[in-house]
Each structure stands twice: as structure tokens, then as C-alpha cells.
Amino acid sequence: MYSEEIQVRTGQREAVVDLTDSVTAFLRPHQDADGLLHAWVPHATAGLVVIETGAGSDIDLLTALRSLLPADDRWQHRHGSPGHGRDHVLPALLAPSMSVPVLAGRPAWGTWQSLCLVDTNVDNPVRTVRLSFLPG
């Protein structure tokens, strides 16, 4: 198994960050190998998704999350920014881990699919993502 952590700057706003370039760079030394890419976000307030980016789907996702998880005072978990409790519910809807098949050193996702980090927690501007490659 090969593994490394990458740092992702999400800033102080809700974000969907495309990890495709980071995944491609991580897999480059394994360009002929088949196996499994596993991504893990060791945070209680972020998740991973496979989604189309660049055509507005990432913005639509954030809009849907705002509707499902409003940033208001309904949440029991209340430290941090107003509505921060919703950030702790996010990983129940968007898992903190994702596995993707790798064929000949490339993720086997479909056309328009990208692995993205989703972060609604404006109190944490930098996130860690652990990428692991398990050769088959």
C-alpha cells in the first residue's frame, strides 16, 4: 500500500474542491498498476463525493446542503460559527471516505466524474485528505 496526506485549502467559505489533479499526481508513480484508490478525510465536518464539476453541479450541491442543513440556531452542537452544528451532521450525508477502482494507474470514474472534498465549516480553512493506493 502507498499512502500520503495532502493539504487542501478550502478558505473561509463553503467549498467543493476538485481533487482530480491531486489524485492524478499521487497515482503517477503507479501508471501501469491496477488497484484501488482510497481517500479519507480525518475531519468531523467534511466529506467526499464523486460529482461533475464546472457545469454548476458543485454549486447545486452546496445549495442543496444549505436547504437540508441550514446554518441557523436549531442545532444542539453550538460552538464555532452560527449553525456550526450542521457541519457535524454533514459526514452522515457525505461520507468521509471514498474508494475508486484504478486501471493502468488511472481512476476508473466515468465521464464528467471527479472526486471532490466538500467542506461547509468556515472555521477550518485547511483540510487534510489521506490518499492511499492498494495495488491489485
Cα Rg of the chain, angstroms:
16
Domain that holds residue 33: 2-135
Average pLDDT, the chain: 94
CATH code of residue 74: 2.60.120.460
pLDDT score of 82: 78
Q: Is the pLDDT of residue 122 over 80?
A: yes
Q: How many domains does the chain have?
A: 1
pLDDT of 80 reads 77
pLDDT, average across residues 52-80: 91
pTM of the model: 0.93
